[in-house]
Structure 1
Amino acid sequence: MRAPAPILPRQSATKIHSMDNNFAAQTQHIRVGKQAYLEFMPDQVIPHRHSRFISDTLIECDSTATVLYSEILMPGRKHHHQDERFGFDVYSSRISAKNEAGDVLFTEKLVLTPKEKPLDVVGVMGTFDIYGNVIVLTPSTCQDEILSRSRSFYSEELCHGVSRLPQWGWAYL
């Protein structure tokens, strides 16, 4: 019998407060062994006006394991002040994954600087306020079935897309 699958929630949102100097940083190193299953879907990141945040996540995953990982970025405290919606200075997130041999499966880097390049334009965020990124790393035997149940979608309220990673696993953005 397989052991219960761990699900690691955070207690609450990560709030990045305004700052005059420097930045807030987060480093995560996740290891998932043979035939293991891990869901790590933390609560959202809420960057306040004039905040700077750098996140670096490394996922080491055995090729027989499954990992479900996500990030959710809020626009800030948009009802608090007119300049709060995407009022942060920098949001930087890097997610990398390696297999058990140490081969890099993918690296994704997202850097947002809304004062230099506005986010509320077509092709970036448009009218949407929330950015979510869900990554599923799973053996190839499961990928096609999962992908067949997850179709890209667009409406005025919600849009999402699905893409397969180049080497192993797939990503749902």
Structure 2
Amino acid sequence: MMASPRLQQLNGKLDLQFQYRRGKTRMTECLQEPPLKASRVLYTDHPQRATVYLVETSGGMVGGDEHSISVTVDPNAQVELIPQAATKVYPVRIPLQKTKQVIKMEIKDYGSLLWKPETLIPFINTRFQQRVTVSLTASSTFFYGDILAPGRTHHDERFLYQMLDNRFELFLDGQLIAFDRIKLEPLESDISKMGMLDDYAYLGSAWFSPPPSIDFEQMKQKLHPPNENTTRFALTELEGGIFHARCLSHSNQEIKQVMLDLYEVFLSLTQQKRVVFENNALSNHS
């Protein structure tokens, strides 16, 4: 059943800028247009890191909605962004209509941006297109993760969305290092086959760039091995010290735990290196 085309289309916008001032990271710019909203800055376990919650006040994206999120982290600033809830994408209103989201992140010298993983849930008859672009420097610290669900499984909506097109691009010092595109059309083709989802239901992806001298093997050893009967996990190091993790699972609970474990391991290991790294950053701060 399709939603009424007479419903108002929402074009949410969120532009955030963070700067390092007087020993802390400050949110110096926050332009927000409904239904997107950012919380005030919180300082939790790290006194210099600014934690901000990202909120979608309408409860989900309806067919035709377009959201734009832009985040700029200036030199030496440290930021953690936490989506308040899973992203729900509701059915299209008219045939072939798309729901779109564009996320752009720029992390400058000695800056740090961490985007905590959350789930994307495409409802029946969804057509969703997302593009994520990240720009880093060699001294940036970065983490971005997300989880793709097969739909509202408790409503028997497993792989009943029309199309999901998720594109990720990562630039390091202006050079394209990683390009990853996942386009799924479960009603048109068999996405369970080899090279797609391999008969799994949930797909998790993470891209991250830690400070120098992170031990790759140490990172893998700290991750709790998933249940191999229900979950598969792989971690790869790319050029320029960029890491990519991908997880496939039959269980929403298990894949979310694996992705959050990865995030926490990244936090702990980067925190150990951050003391020396911050000294370098402060010496470069004027």
For normalisation by structure 1, the TM-score amounts to: 0.86
For 2:118 and 2:227, the matched residues in 1 are separated by 24
For 2:193 and 2:144, the matched residues in 1 are separated by 27
For 1:170 and 1:42, the matched residues in 2 are separated by 15
Deviation at 1:129, TM superposition (A): 2.1
Richer in helix (by share)? 2
For 2:133 and 2:231, the matched residues in 1 are separated by 29
1:57 to 132, 136, 154: 132
For 2:154 and 2:138, the matched residues in 1 are separated by 44
Asked whether the 8 Å contact 1:67–1:137 carries over to 2, the reply is yes
Range moving further from structure 2, 145-154 or 47-56:
145-154
For 1:43 and 1:149, the matched residues in 2 are separated by 21
Aligned to 2:204: 132
Answering whether residue 104 of structure 2 is matched by residue 29 of structure 1, we say: yes
Asked whether the 8 Å contact 1:88–1:114 carries over to 2, the reply is yes
Aligned length: 168
Flag the 1:48–1:103 CA change in 2: closer, same or farther, 3 A: same
For 2:220 and 2:175, the matched residues in 1 are separated by 27
Amino acid of the structure 2 residue aligned with 1:14: T
Q: How does 1:86-125 map to 2 (within 5 A)?
A: 86-100=159-173, 102-125=174-197
Aligned to 1:149: 219
Answering whether residue 235 of structure 2 is matched by residue 162 of structure 1, we say: yes
Amino acid of the structure 1 residue aligned with 2:171: K
1:6 to 79, 86, 95: 79
- Once the two structures are superposed, residues 45-81 of structure 1 have per-residue CA deviations (whole angstroms, 9 ceiling, x without a partner) of 1001110101001101111011110111011011213
Asked whether the 8 Å contact 2:138–2:240 carries over to 1, the reply is no
Asked whether the 8 Å contact 1:165–1:171 carries over to 2, the reply is yes
The CA RMSD over aligned residues, in Å, is: 2.2
Deviation at 1:139, TM superposition (A): 4.7
For 1:50 and 1:65, the matched residues in 2 are separated by 39
1:76 to 151, 154, 159: 151
Give identity over the alignment, percent.
Answer: 20
- Once the two structures are superposed, residues 92-141 of structure 1 have per-residue CA deviations (whole angstroms, 9 ceiling, x without a partner) of 111111123x1111111111111222233454334432110011123553
For 2:103 and 2:188, the matched residues in 1 are separated by 28
- The 3-state SS of whatever aligns with 2:191 is coil
Amino acid of the structure 2 residue aligned with 1:88: Y
For normalisation by structure 2, the TM-score amounts to: 0.54
For 1:74 and 1:127, the matched residues in 2 are separated by 13
Deviation at 1:43, TM superposition (A): 2.0
Higher-Rg member (1/2): 2
Aligned to 1:15: 88
Flag the 1:153–1:165 CA change in 2: closer, same or farther, 3 A: farther
Runs of 4+ in structure 1 off by over 6 angstroms are 151-154
